[in-house]
Amino acid sequence: MKRFALISIPYLWLLALFLVPFLIVLKISLSDTELAIPPYTPTLDIAQGWAGVREWWAGLDMENFVWLTEDDLYWKAYLSSLKIAIISTLLTLMVGYPIAYGMTRAPDEWRPTLMMLIILPFWTSFLIRVYSWKAILSNEGLLNQLLIGIGLIDEPLVILNTNIAVYIGIVYTYLPFMVLPIYAALERLDESLLEAAEDLGCSRFTAFWLVTFPLSKQGVIAGSFLVFIPAMGEYVIPALLGGSKTLMIGKVLFEEFFANRDWPVASAVAVVLLLILIIPIVLFQRNEEKQREAGK
């Protein structure tokens, strides 16, 4: 009895507030748009029983999904999000790996402090961290002041409200997610393997490529997914740092919903985004399971 209550309370909560909402999104994505409140006409009428389901199936036209393929705004936004997410994941990896590597090479008594310095931004407001770049990247901003001051450029660089600012924003805010799994993987590494490689005539660099990097692969994979998946649906960073030309699907969804009040299309956008993300999510979970088994 107690066991039943223990299982059913969180189970029912998640069913009601996680699974059911999804089914509603799926249902509305198949409805027709209408200028009303709520602004859609449900095509599925459950009250009619089986006849209603049959009628719904016959009238099912996937209209909103067809619309997504016809209006090039949407597929361009998906492609552009994919591009931005991939590039910024690679950039985060390039910035994050050396930091994680440097942390494992640091003297033992520094490690807790370095660890805390990596985790601290994670507890600080995401919104504030994104906002902090606005004053740096704007045309009159501190970066341009500095570059003009040292005479490197004459005209201010336009960075804010471009994709470059979005890349910087994503790398900056998601860096801890990349560093921590790589650090965890590198810390487990048996250093005698490196010594063996050097004894066998590898240079330090070859030893790194042949031994260290392959052994940290799972950390790299985990970190990359942890950056890629949220970056794909990101809203705040393109809204604050990107320009009107920055197309990202999270932003399109948000605006479709709030500005155009087109709920069926917004729901269809969400369904397609989820379908795109299912592949990386499944791969990520498989990687985690592999790691858990290796850890045992």
Partner 1 sequence: MRKLSWFNTLTLTLGFAFLYIPMLILILYSFNAGKLVTVWSGFSFKWYGELFQNEAFLQAAWVTLKVAVVSSTFATILGTMAAYVMVRAGRFRGRTLFSGMIYAPLVMPEVITGLSLLLLFIAIGLDRGVLTIVLAHTTFSMCYVSVVVSSRLVTFDQSLEEAALDLGCTGFEAFRLVTLPITLPAVISGWLLAFTLSLDDLVIASFTSGPSSTTLPIKIFSAVRLGVTPEINALSTIMIGLVTIGVIGASLTSKRAIAKKQKDEREAIS
Taking CB under 8 A as the criterion, which residues in 256-275 touch partner 1? 257-258, 263, 266-267, 270, 273-274
Q: Is residue 73 near partner 1 by the rule CB under 8 A? A: no
Closest approach of partner 1 to the CB of residue 122, in Å? 9
End-to-end Cα spacing for the chain: 33
Kindly tell me which of 36 and 58 has the beta carbon lying closer to partner 1: 36
Near partner 1 in 215-234, by CB under 8 A: 229-230, 232-234
Closest approach of partner 1 to the CB of residue 37, in Å? 9
* CA quadruple 11, 14, 16, 19: dihedral sign: negative
Near partner 1 in 182-221, by CB under 8 A: none
Q: Is residue 105 near partner 1 by the rule CB under 8 A? A: yes
Closest approach of partner 1 to the CB of residue 195, in Å? 13
Q: Is residue 135 near partner 1 by the rule CB under 8 A? A: yes
Contact 204, 96 (CB under 8 A): no
CA distance 235 to 227: 14
Contact 83, 247 (CB under 8 A): no
Among 35, 116, 259, 294, binds partner 1 (CB under 8 A): 116
Q: For strand 32-33 and strand 40-41, is the pairing parallel, antiparallel, or unpaired? A: antiparallel
Q: Is residue 128 near partner 1 by the rule CB under 8 A? A: yes
Among 87, 136, 148, 193, binds partner 1 (CB under 8 A): 136
SS3 of residue 245 by DSSP:
coil
Q: Give start and end residues of each alpha helix (H) in the chain.
A: 2-14, 20-29, 50-59, 63-70, 72-105, 111-123, 126-137, 142-149, 163-187, 191-199, 204-207, 213-215, 217-232, 236-240, 249-258, 263-295
Closest C-alpha to 180, from 114, 90, 88, 279: 114
Kindly tell me which of 58 and 245 has the beta carbon lying closer to partner 1: 245
Q: Is residue 57 near partner 1 by the rule CB under 8 A? A: no
CA distance 150 to 166: 26
Closest C-alpha to 167, from 257, 117, 234: 234
Q: Is residue 95 near partner 1 by the rule CB under 8 A? A: yes
Q: Is residue 67 near partner 1 by the rule CB under 8 A? A: no
Closest approach of partner 1 to the CB of residue 211, in Å? 17
SS3 of residue 216 by DSSP:
coil
CA distance 138 to 223: 30
Q: Is residue 123 near partner 1 by the rule CB under 8 A? A: yes
Among 138, 162, 213, 215, binds partner 1 (CB under 8 A): 138
Contact 27, 251 (CB under 8 A): no
Q: Is residue 141 near partner 1 by the rule CB under 8 A? A: yes
Q: Map residues 24-43 to x or -, x wherever contact with partner 1 holds by CB under 8 A.
A: xx--x---------x-----
Kindly tell me which of 105 and 201 has the beta carbon lying closer to partner 1: 105
Closest approach of partner 1 to the CB of residue 124, in Å? 5
Among 7, 66, 146, 196, binds partner 1 (CB under 8 A): 7
How many chain residues touch partner 1 (CB under 8 A)?
Answer: 81
Kindly report the backbone phi and psi dihedral angles of residue 129, in degrees, each rounded to the nearest multiple of 5, phi listed first: -65, -35
